[in-house]
Amino acid sequence: MMGSMSDGSSFYITTPIFYVNDVPHIGHAYTEVAADVLARWHRQAGDDTWFLTGTDEHGQKILRTATANGVTPKQWADRLVESAWQPLLKTIDISNDDFIRTTDERHEVNVQLFLQRLFDAGYIYTGEYEGYYCVGCEEYKADSDLVDGTGEYEGQKVCAIHSKPVELLKERNYFFKMSEFSQRLLDLYEENPNFIQPESVRNEIVSFVRRGLTDLSISRQTFDWGVKVPWDESHVVYVWFDALLNYITAAGYGYDDEAFASRWPATHIVGKDIARFHAVIWPAMLMAAGLEVPKQVFGHGWLLVGGEKMSKSKLTGIAPNQITDTFGSDAFRYYFMRAINFGQDGSFSWEDLSARYQAELANGFGNLASRVIAMVTRYFDGVIPDAGVLDAPDQAIRDTEVRVTAAADAAISRLAIHEAIAQVWQLVDELNGYITLQEPWALSKDPANRERLGTVLNTAVRGIGTLAVLLSPVLPVATSKLWTALNGAGAVSDQPIRSAFDWAGGTTVSALEPLFPRIETSETDGSAA
């Protein structure tokens, strides 16, 4: 798996673990794809990559859903993981190395270990909690998080995110002394400005912590679907405290010190709505335990449908396979990574998806690849010609290959996935322009131009091979078909990405399977999908 360029750097990347109260929609799939593209890129760069995803199965929200469906919470979680969350990973071609469930023994046991250590170190005390709780968020709410309800909730305070009533809690709970970490967190944000990205999320969190942190209630006593507090089994651990620990329990914390030392710390990809848990509570927990804080927390934007954050509870949810059944997994991956600036909100529309599929994937990249392979087959019996003397346009293509490879890699290191793709697409566009101008079909008519024709097609073949390597993290299916047609060495997903332009292949080309088949327009308006 490691390429020759390997510098052996460790790259541990995570997605949030998803609540299993419901089935996935394209907002969840969006997070998965972003993390997957980054993981695949780093693997191809030779980094020692580990990509974790999984499910968040405890807490009141899941308990209530299970009860409403007449099953135990574990039965419910098993059903959802098997029928919906694991299959999602196949639907959108996710290359995760591990899948953690918070009901795994490796998780539950080591949540208890972590908690016991914090207790022994004096960071946990008993107290009285009184305040509001939103079961949808699984979060304690400040008055400023609440708004006046409307319609059936008229006269009640509701959660600003879920528009549903909050519940008044009055319980004797265990508390984590989070307030002690305000200054250390502010120092961390200052010393490492990349710790929270993008800037908008960072600013919001810095000003939140500047107002001062309160201690955090980390246990519940009124229900029992959770990890038991080790020294007091009448309490279960607060679901967020439990869930955040997945990032270290999956990496070996408490049972495989070597794996843990080589993987941790991680880069966390999360939606901006949960960035605060990851950039405030989570590093404070780690500091208290004497562990390293995460490498980075990146809070991406929301997928909007009709101007609102897409969600199942607001009935705006779209299932990922509604898109992939028609357009395929590559197009799903490409569309969301290309059309939305990673870090900002973006609106989904069937029209935009369909237009980009046609213009960029089918006509831009797919057609380029099939024309080049077809011309080598027709004019040189499938033998890739050598290049003769390079003219300026031929050299320009080679220069672009080198330039966009470096620029895309730099963009990925900033997690600017959309920019990386835009850089690579300069090569798609330049190659299309190059072929139009060089007119190989015209050169083929006069045997005197044989060497020139060879140089042009050699340049074009080199270019599409470079594209296969560079686009493999985003378009794993199409690029592997192209790689097969180029008789490339090994699997395209193993090709060193930082030297994509140096790719090695066979001496001939083979037939190319269609990369982006034509889609009947009646299927692309969404109604048939």
Q: Which residues pair with 347 in a beta bridge?
A: 304
User: Of 160-168, 268-276, 353-361, 477-485, which part binds ligand MSP (CB under 6 A)?
Assistant: 268-276
Does residue 318 bind ligand MSP (CB under 6 A)?
Answer: no
Which two tokens mark 480? 């592997």
Does residue 30 bind ligand MSP (CB under 6 A)?
Answer: yes
Does residue 19 bind ligand MSP (CB under 6 A)?
Answer: yes
Length of the chain measured in residues: 529
Applying the rule CB under 6 A, the residues between 40 and 59 that interact with ligand MSP are 56
| All residues at 6 or more sequence positions from 154 whose CB lies less than 8 Å from its CB, including other chains | none
Does residue 286 bind ligand MSP (CB under 6 A)?
Answer: no
Residue 114 Cα to chain centre, angstroms: 27
Q: Which residue among 42, 61, 107, 137 is the active-site one?
A: 137
| All residues at 6 or more sequence positions from 178 whose CB lies less than 8 Å from its CB, including other chains | 213, 214, 215, 216, 280, 281, 284
Q: Which is nearer to ligand MSP, 246 or 455 (CB)?
A: 246
User: Of 25-33, 77-85, 117-125, 159-167, which part binds ligand MSP (CB under 6 A)?
Assistant: 25-33
61 given a catalytic annotation: no
Does residue 342 bind ligand MSP (CB under 6 A)?
Answer: no
Q: Which residue among 42, 159, 278, 300 is the active-site one?
A: 159
Q: In the complex, what is the shortest distance from the CB of residue 219 to ligand MSP, in angstroms, rounded to a whole number?
A: 17
Which two tokens mark 210? 């500047």
Q: List the one residue from 81, 303, 428, 468 that touches ligand MSP (CB under 6 A).
A: 303
Q: What's the rounded Cα separation, in Å, for the pair 227 and 285?
A: 17
Does residue 309 bind ligand MSP (CB under 6 A)?
Answer: yes
Instruction: List the one residue out of 379, 366, 327 whose CA is nearest residue 467.
Output: 366
* Pairing outcome for strands 124-134 and 167-176: antiparallel
Q: Which is nearer to ligand MSP, 30 or 483 (CB)?
A: 30
Q: Which is nearer to ligand MSP, 14 or 438 (CB)?
A: 14
Q: Which residue is nearest to ligand MSP (CB)?
A: 271
The sheet that has 167-176: what strands, in order across it?
A: 139-141, 124-134, 167-176, 216-217
162 given a catalytic annotation: yes
Cα-trace Rg, the chain:
26
Which residues are known binding-site members? Answer: 134, 137, 159, 162
Does residue 264 bind ligand MSP (CB under 6 A)?
Answer: no
309 given a catalytic annotation: yes
Question: Under a CB-based contact definition with an 8 Å cutoff, are residues 247 and 214 in contact?
Answer: no
Q: How far apart are the first and last CA of the chain?
A: 37
Q: Which is nearer to ligand MSP, 353 or 512 (CB)?
A: 353
For the chain, the maximum distance between any two Cα atoms, rounded to a whole number of angstroms, is 91
For the residues of 312-334, what is the DSSP string, one character each? TTTT----HHHHHHHH-HHHHHH
134 given a catalytic annotation: yes
25 given a catalytic annotation: yes
Q: Which is nearer to ligand MSP, 294 or 440 (CB)?
A: 294
Residue where the block lists tokens 């509570």 = 281
Q: Which is nearer to ligand MSP, 277 or 516 (CB)?
A: 277
Q: Which is nearer to ligand MSP, 114 or 365 (CB)?
A: 114
Q: In the complex, what is the shortest distance from the CB of residue 268 to ligand MSP, in angstroms, rounded to a whole number?
A: 8
- Dihedral angle, C-alpha 84, 251, 48, 405, nearest 10 °: 50
Q: What's the rounded Cα separation, in Å, for the pair 1 and 44?
A: 8
Which residues are known binding-site members for Zn(2+)? Answer: 134, 137, 159, 162
Applying the rule CB under 6 A, the residues between 234 and 253 that interact with ligand MSP are 243-244, 246
Does residue 27 bind ligand MSP (CB under 6 A)?
Answer: yes
Binding-site residue total for ligand MSP (CB under 6 A)?
Answer: 21
Q: In the complex, what is the shortest distance from the CB of residue 316 to ligand MSP, in angstroms, rounded to a whole number?
A: 8
Q: In the complex, what is the shortest distance from the CB of residue 21 to ligand MSP, in angstroms, rounded to a whole number?
A: 8
User: Of 26-34, 103-111, 332-340, 469-477, which part binds ligand MSP (CB under 6 A)?
Assistant: 26-34
CA separation, residue 496 to residues 14, 28, 51 (Å): 23, 29, 18
Instruction: List the one residue out of 285, 258, 240 whose CA is nearest residue 59.
Output: 240
H/E element holding 207? helix 199-210
Q: Which residue among 42, 61, 134, 272 is the active-site one?
A: 134
Q: In the complex, what is the shortest distance from the CB of residue 139 to ligand MSP, in angstroms, rounded to a whole number?
A: 10
Q: What's the rounded Cα separation, in Å, for the pair 403 and 111?
A: 47
Q: Which is nearer to ligand MSP, 246 or 438 (CB)?
A: 246
Angle, CA of 231, 57 and 40, to the nearest 5°: 115
Q: List the one residue from 48, 78, 97, 273 that touches ligand MSP (CB under 6 A).
A: 273
Relative orientation angle of helices 392-413 and 26-44, to the nearest 10 degrees: 120
Site of interaction with ligand MSP (CB under 6 A): 16-19, 27-28, 30-31, 56, 243-244, 246, 270-271, 273-274, 302-303, 309-311
**Could you list the active site residues?**
25, 28, 134, 137, 159, 162, 309, 312
